Each structure stands twice: as structure tokens, then as C-alpha cells.
Structure 1
Amino acid sequence: MGEVTGTLFGFGSFLLGTIVPFLFVLTIVVFVHEMGHYLVGRWCGIGVKAFSIGFGPELAGFTDRRGTRWKLSAIPLGGYVKFVGDVGATSSPDADAIEKLSPEERRVAFHLQPVWKRAATVFAGPFFNFILTAVVFSVMFALFGRYVADPVVAEVQPGSPAAVAGIHPGDRFVSINGISVETFGDVQRIVSGRAGDPLTFVLERDGRQVSVTATPKLTEQKDALDNPVKIGVIGVINNQELGQPRVVEYGPVEAVGAGIEETMSAIARTGQFLKRFVEGREDRCQLGGPVKIADMAGKAASRGFEWLIQLAALLSVGIGILNLLPIPPLDGGHLLFYGIEAVLRRPVSEQVAEAVYRAGMLMVLIFMGFVFWNDLFGC
């Protein structure tokens, strides 16, 4: 009896501590993404048949006065907006169904709209993901400020790339590869994603500027949620590790500016990681799927609601960028077709579109299988 009770309590703890935070984070990100498609589609005069959080059988829902079915579906790993004329949940045209549409339906059918309206509607999903991230960061900065440390070297680890390059305690970072830095966090963000790349550091030393070149080495560390991550380091320690960082407080306008800046930085870092990953220069274990996200959501929730919201913001950036990859059936694949259509003044032929779509779907399925394997067995 005791073992059964322990199992039940253990499952309950896992459900509340991991699954619920995971579904909370994922639902926010998916809802915002799909709401972007929906709002811009409606603004463009496109009819919407369904708005779903999740895939598969409907669990609950209602139909609004415009005829849109709002529903919660059984498989909570995504969502979709189905426009008038779509054959399924991926905004693929159904030629036979379009032919059977009434004149009124044809006026609001997605695939019969001008290319700019279709492109705007598709792009809105990832764009709203970026807006979500900027809003979260802006609110966090406005409420709590930001902990920062000056970009001054307190200690150089012996034998490290920094020591080899000639960086000394007391040096102040001015720029890295031409990018100005204001805080030690700026230095970490630039260096962490550039393992193996020679970087030019401009330092202020004794009132003058000196330039050195150092190549970050890949090192395994713990992130803020105690997850093992492999990042580039040059081997310098800042006062942030030796003492307390200072707090920068923001007014509402400054917080929005800082939130947008932080979002752009997150987009750049994510894009850089994906580029290096494709080149084979990043550890595949850094790429995770639902299992890893659920684990991170549980850890974030245990530290407080603000940690969970920040995780949602970072996940939103990743979802936005992944959806912009030029691979059907992702949003970027549709945008690629619309770009070709705009140049050629005619849609891509159905045969070509179908062949590319099938190839893209295969790539997406392989990628999904890869991250699931990574989650369960790979690392």
C-alpha cells in the first residue's frame, strides 16, 4: 500500500511540477503564434474556419458568430488556424474544395487573396512570437530592473585563451569583433556562441586601447536552471562572480527599448546557433524537444512564476525562428513560395509545390525524430 501511495504522490508531483508548467509555457507560445495568423488574416479580410490549440480530436470548443470554431484538441504539441479554402491544418490549398466554394466564400478564401495578404498573414505568426518575447522582457525590466556588471576583468585563468592572448586583470572590454560591449553580460553573450572562432577584443588598459585575438574554447557549464550546456569561454572572471552586480532600473519607455534590444539579441544568438549547428560546429545535445522543454519548464516553475514566463519568452523566439526556415510546411516555406510567385507573377505549379511540400514534410519529420531521440537516448 505504501508503494502504491508513493507512486501516486510521485506521479502527482510530476504532473504538477513538470507537465502542467510545460503545457502552460507551450500553450502561451502556440496561442500567441496562431493569434498572429488569425488577427492579421482577419484584418486582411480572410475567412477563418477554425482556431485550434493542439492537434487531433477536439476536446472542447465553441463556434463564434463569424463561424470560426475555437477549440482545444487532444494532442497539445502545437496548434493551427484553418482558413477558408485550406485542405488541412497546414494552409495547403484544396483545388477541388476551392472550385466548390460559393461566391461569398471565394471572396474570403485564403488562397484566392493577393500574395501580399497571404504573406502578411503567414509572417504574422513568427512575428507575434517575437513580440511576445519583447513584451515579457520589457515587463521584467520595468518591474525588476536588470542585474549587470561592468565589463572589467577581475581574474584570468592560467592557460586559458585569454591568458594566451595577453588579457590582464583590470582590462576593460570595449568591443568584440567590432561590436561594442557595455556589460560583462554582453561579453558572455558574444563569446558563448563562438567557440572555435578567432575573435578580436579591443580592451582599455591604463588609459589606452589595446587589441588582442583570442579563440573561445568549448566548455561544459551549468546554465541558470542547472542544465548542462556547452558554450565558448575565454577564461576570464568578472566581479559579478566575486561580488554583487549592480541593478539598472528602467522607466516604462526605457524598459521597452531594452526589451526589444534583448529580443533582437536572442534572435541573433538563436540564428547563429542554428547556422553553426547546420555546419556541424555545435553539439547536437544542445538541441532538445518536448522532453527537454518539459524538464526545463519544471525547473523554471520551481524557481518562481517569473522564471517560467522568461522561459516562455525564450522558447517563443526559438519557435518563431524555426517557423521562418524556408521549408514547407513551415511558415518560411510558404513565404518562399509567395516570394517566387511575386517575382514570376504566377503561383508555383501544383506539381512542383507538392513535390517540395512532401520533401519539406519529410525533413520536418526527420528533425522531429532527431530531437525526440536526443531527448530520450541521445545525450
Structure 2
Amino acid sequence: MTLLYFIIAISVLVVIHEYGHFWVARRCGVKVLRFSVGFGNPLFSWKDKHDTEFAIAPIPLGGYVKMLDEREGPVPEHLLDQAFTQKTAWQRIAIAAAGPIANFLFAIIAYWILFVAGTTGVVPVVGEVKDSTPAAVAGLRSGDEIIAIDGEETTSWQEVSWQLVNFIGEDASFPVVVESESGAQRRVDISVSAWLSDSEAPDPIDGLGIEPRRMDIPAQIGQLSEDGRALASGLKTGDIILEVDLTPISDWYQWVEIVQAAPEQTLALLIERDDQTQVLSLTPARKELDDGEVIGFVGAGVQVPEIPADWLRTSQAGFLQALSLGVEKTWNLIGFTLESLWKMIRGDVSVKNLSGPITIAKVAGSSASGGLESFIGFLALLSVSLGVLNLLPVPMLDGGHILFYSAEMLTGKPLPEKVQIAAIKVGMFLLFSLMAVAFYNDISRL
């Protein structure tokens, strides 16, 4: 199912991106020869009344719009006015920019729908504050609800995380407004230095030293990895862990602590299944974390009980307000994406944070399992990332083409062919290097 959701996500965003190019090209009088979703020889295709071929190809990692272009071969005299190369520089800029703009418009519409329908999140109440962490030094306490961070309201843990990621890799001090269990509000100032800059997958909430308020969750097995030790040992979904090595298990957290502390050590389990007890033997696999710590891992997820209603908060906006919030959310994400890329270039954030198709597929699957709201939010986020990436002034990307055509507008003539070829080679090197790092990160996370 993860692969299916990945294909759906990529296909939707490719169609949106390429349709932006297609729509503006048609409006500028350019003849479109092919609109392909995916790469490779078409699995099937059809043509419209304008003789444009629409194709579905087998490699779902992108797509393209092929236009009539003198650079790719002779163009018949009667079609010359429909060639891309015959259009003005500003028209070519509009066609190149239309793909990323379409991605941004999709994100605005997606967030608009979400805000109108209402988004539900877990109220950000602190469960535990770890000693000697930025949160502890600032004076956050168990039971505090985080009301705002750096002047921005935070109604859920997701919003808390989004506000905190802005400070990753930075030396900063920012205000946090909290409300105690008694209802009294106060401000604390949290200071960080080169915060989480070396982390491969930074968790800003944990990085501050905060653990969200936790439910009482029984040690009941929910999901099992097909290649995990838990399934191989005979554990099944719905099993309740009663004892480990004769130690009674009170909740899921205790079970996780015992497993993580016992890599490659055999554990004797007493479980309950269908109102009967059984004894199983389980040896957690060895897993090394980013910081070098070695923990036990069995490939088992928890059976999550229903979250209490008073732990949840639903935010809903009117029609016009939701549109405004959608624009604001998309704009902030564009800024955040650009800032994150700049931090990587400066070395303030590790390039280990780059993700390729494997990680994207996993996130697509997990977001889809979280429901339609979660999946739409993921599509919007990925759409913004795709739009920003394509606008970077790198030859071979839309932003590179815009750079060439802008130079042509300024000088009154196209850049010399040798300059364009050299720039494209540099662009290819940069893109393939970026892809190689992303694939390496994906594989290292497996």
C-alpha cells in the first residue's frame, strides 16, 4: 500500500505541475506534442483535437510536456509560429514558471479545503521536561500548555513542531507563552545554540527536552513489520504483553524501554491472546541510532486507544478566512523551504535531512493511514517543496530556464550556445549530486 500511495501522490503532483506548463503554453500559442505522466515508453496514450498526445508511462518519478521546438529538429513552415522558440522571452518565462506556480496554487486550495473542513490536533500539554535541557532551563513544567511560540499561536503539537523547526541550526532565543494547570499564563524564554544542526532527522519537541502528555496505553500489539523479530517470534496483532522475564508490564512505554535495553538478548514473554496466556521467546534486533547509541528493535507498533475528547482541539475557519489562511500557510512553507536549503548550504543543518523517493513513499503511506486530512496535508507540503525546487536557478530546472530567458530579455539576444551547454552540464552535476545524497540518506535509514 505504501508504494500505491507514493504513486498516487507523485502522479497527482506531476499532473498539476505539468498541467501548469501545458495550460500556459496553449494560451501562448505553443503547439504541445505530448503530455506524459511518468517516464519511459507509454503504457497507453490518446490524442485530443489539437493532436496532443496524452500518455501514461511506467516510471512514476516525474513527467514532462513536450512542445514544438526548433532546437529538436526542423519545424514545418506552416507550424513555425507555434514553436516554443518563436515565442517572446516573457512568454517562455511564463511557460517555465507556470509549473511551480500550479504547485503553489494546489497547496493553497488544499489548505483552504482543510481549514474550511476543520483540522483536529492534540492539545500541546507538556507531560515531562527532561533535566538540563533548553526547556528545563527556561522553566517549562509538566502540565503546562504551550499557547504560543515567538508570537505565533500553537493550538496543537503539530503547530508547536512547525514553529520550532524555524530555529533548527540556529543560535537563538525565543519567547514561549504557556498556561499552567491552574489557568495562569506566563512567558518563558528558550535559548538554543547550533540547535540540532548535526541531527539526521531532528525532532524539535524532543530536542527542547519536552515529552508530550502521554495517555495510559496498554502493552497491546497493533502493527507488525513483515521482516521484524516480533512477527518471527510468533507475536500477533492484539496480543497483550503481561510479563517480560517475570517482570510485570504495566504499559506500552515500559515494554518499549525493556526492548530497547536488550539488543540481541533473548527475552521470555508472557502474553495474553484470546483470553488465554502463552509463553514466547523474543530476541530484539540490534539498531544503531544517529548518535551511535545501540538499542533493541522488534518491529512492533502499539494498538493505540481512542484519544480522549478533551485532549483534542478542532480549528475551523470561514470560507474567506480559510482562503487567507491557505495563502499564508503556503507562503510560510515556501519561505521555510528556502531557508532550510540555505541552512544546508551554509552547513547549519545536516544534508542528512535530504530525502529521496523511499522516504517520500514511507511518509505517503503513513500519512494516508492517518486519514484523508493527513494525506491532503502531505500532498500540499510536497507540492510546495516541488514548486520551490523547480524554481531554483539551476539549469535543467524551470528556474534555470527562467534565468536564461531573463538574461535574454536584458541583453536582447539568447545566451551563447556554449554558455548554455556548459551551464546545463553544471546543472546536471548539481542535480545528480543532490539525488545521490538523497538516495544515500534513504538507504541508510532502512
TM category, shorter = 0.7 to 0.9
- Name the residue aligned to 1:327: 394
For structure 1, list consecutive stretches of 5 or more residues without a partner in the other structure. 1-16, 87-92, 222-227
Kindly report which structure 2 residues correspond to 1:138-177, keeping only aligned pairs within 5 A, or say none: 138-147=112-121, 149=123, 156-165=129-138, 176=150
Matched with 2:192 is 215
Normalising to structure 1: TM-score of the pair? 0.80
Q: What corresponds to 2:109 in structure 1?
A: 135
Structure 1 partner of 2:24: 40
Work out the CA distance in 1 between the residues paired with 2:10 and 2:407: 33
Query: Contact 2:33–2:52 (CA<8 Å) still a contact in 1?
Result: yes
Give the greater-gyration-radius structure (CA). Answer: 2
Q: Residues 319-345 of structure 1, C-alpha deviation per residue, up to 9 Å, x if partnerless?
A: 111111111101111111112112212
Residue 314 in structure 1 maps to residue 288 in structure 2:
no
Sort the Cα spacing of 1:238 and 1:305 in 2 relative to 1 into closer, same or farther, 3 A: closer
Residue pair 2:176, 2:190 contacting (<8 A) in 1 also: no
Which of 37, 56, 59 in structure 1 is aligned with 2:40? 56
Tell me how large the CA RMSD over aligned residues is.
3.1
Query: Is the contact between residue 323 and residue 330 of structure 1 (CA under 8 Å) also seen in structure 2?
Result: yes
Separation in 1, partners of 2:198, 2:350: 11
Give, in whole Å, the separation in 2 of the partners of 1:160 and 1:335.
46
Structure with greater helix percent: 1
**Matched residue SS, 1:328:** coil
Aligned-pair CA distance for 1:163? 3.3
Q: Read off the aligned partner of 2:201 and give its amino acid letter.
A: V
Residues 357, 181 of structure 1: alpha-carbon distance in 2 compared, 3 angstrom cutoff: same
Give the letter for the 1:162 counterpart: A
Aligned AA (2:154): T
Equivalent position of 1:108 in the other structure: 82
Question: What is the DSSP-based 3-state SS (H/G/I as helix, E as strand, rest coil) of the residue aligned with 2:392?
Answer: coil
- 326-335 or 158-167: which moved more? 158-167
In 2: Cα distance, 1:210 partner to 1:139 partner: 34
Q: Which amino acid aligns with 2:356?
A: G
Q: Are the aligned partners of 2:394 and 2:400 in contact in 1 as well (CA < 8 Å)?
A: yes
Matching residue of 1:297: 364
Residue 363 of structure 1 corresponds to 430
Deviation digits for residues 125-181 of structure 1 (CA, Å, limit 9, x no counterpart):
01111111111111122123454758x9787543121333456786976663xxx31
Query: Hey, what does 1:9 align to over in structure 2?
Result: none
- The answer to whether residue 205 in structure 2 is matched with residue 234 in structure 1 is no
Count, aligned residues:
343
Supply the AA of the counterpart residue of 1:297. A
Deviation string for 1:233-291 (max 9, x for gaps)? 43456789996243222122122122222222222222222111222232333222111
Contact 2:122 2:311 in 1 (8 A): no
Could you tell me how far apart the structure 2 residues matched to 1:205 and 1:300 are? Answer: 29
Distance change (3 Å), C-alpha of 1:62 and 1:374? same
Percentage of pairs with the same residue: 32
Taking structure 1 as reference, are residues 167 and 246 closer, same or farther at Cα in structure 2, changes over 3 Å only? same
The equivalent residue for 2:414 is: 347
Moved more, 326-335 or 201-210: 201-210
- Aligned match of 2:313 in 240, 246, 253? 246
Q: Secondary structure at the match of 2:43?
A: strand
Match of 2:4 in 1: 20
Summarize the alignment of residues 67-82 of structure 1 with structure 2, pairs less than 5 Å apart. 67-82=51-66
Task: Kindly indicate whether the alpha-carbon contact (under 8 Å) linking 1:220 and 1:231 is maintained by their aligned counterparts in 2.
Answer: no
Matched residue type, 1:214: S
Deviation at 1:187, TM superposition (A): 4.7
